[in-house]
Structure 1
Amino acid sequence: MRITPIIETYFLEADIDISDWDALCDAATDFKSTYDVPMNTIQYEDTALMPRIEDTPIVKEMVDNILQTVGQATSYPLELYELWGCKKQYKQSMMFHSHWDPKIHNHANLSFAFYAQADERNGNLVFPMHIYNCFIERKFTPGRGKLVVFPSWLFHYTEHEDNPEAPDRIVISGNLKVSE
């Protein structure tokens, strides 16, 4: 397992292995058939998977691995607060958003994106930041097993899937909060 914390810019990046990638991809996407809308129109508020998939062994394995990895880089205990899956296909992307909303007293402290299926041909995860008069853009190239952890308040988006040869990007994202 490789862990690269980048404290100066608020990110943690790690590679995590899962015992059954196909089962994890299925867990992240099969629930969408219960919604009466096309998959690419389902947004953050509509995609909460907890507890729908957490009880499956492969999702529990993934969550345990993520909590263990993040726990090695933080000095406080964290627990899973929310979990959802997202599948993006050719010509799709994820809109500009954050995972924190002060109006609803969101308890999320850290958020993550975990790539169950993706490679370097897929669109990047992008964090545009303005710090004083400087514009900084941090991009993460997708890859199966890549975990990207960031503060929940940090805005981000994904680039369009513009390569027809790229696999569908399947990401399981979630929010973590400090354990009480």
Structure 2
Amino acid sequence: MTTNNEQTVINDIIAGNTNAFAVLVDNYKDMVFTLALRMLKNREEAEEVSQDSFIKIYKSLSKFKGDSKFSTWVYRVAYNTCLDRIKKHKRSQTHIPIDVFTERHIKTIDNALDRMEQEERAQAIQNCLQLLPSEDSFLLTLYYFEEQSLEEISKITGLAANNVKVKLFRSRKKLAVIFSQQLEPEIIESYGKAFR
């Protein structure tokens, strides 16, 4: 949906055409659900938070001023709704030490993944993302899968772009630790030898 079409739909909704909201929901439901699932790690909670997010989007649609892309604003609402849910349940975050791995280890793991079949690789990434703490999984999803820029992620999370960059780097290191624990050690080792 183009920006102009999106703005027309938004204007229709604000003017009272509640049926037009279904267009926005259809356009963003998968994205919102995926991000909620990454943060909450629970399908039912992600579904509930997705619904809550769309209720908030509907109620505050008139507050969208167009300072950012509409998708960025939707991400922000979903992100904050997830944070509220996490705080409400005071969920403890998984701690993954990142000092254990060097850049060479990360490169070795990246090279091992590059050699895996595309489908296996996608499944391995999805499985490992589920094991990351919520914020790390969310940031990696936004940057690598939703292809959001650092500036867009900054607007979504309320963090400075430099802080987002640092968090992405740390999240990637944590993901490398998880990959090393989840992938067959001999696969990693055999690819590691090839790149020494």
* Same fold? TM cut 0.5: no
Higher relative contact order (CA 8 A, sep 6+): 1
Report which of the two has the higher share of helix.
Answer: 2
TM norm structure 1: 0.27
Larger Rg: 2
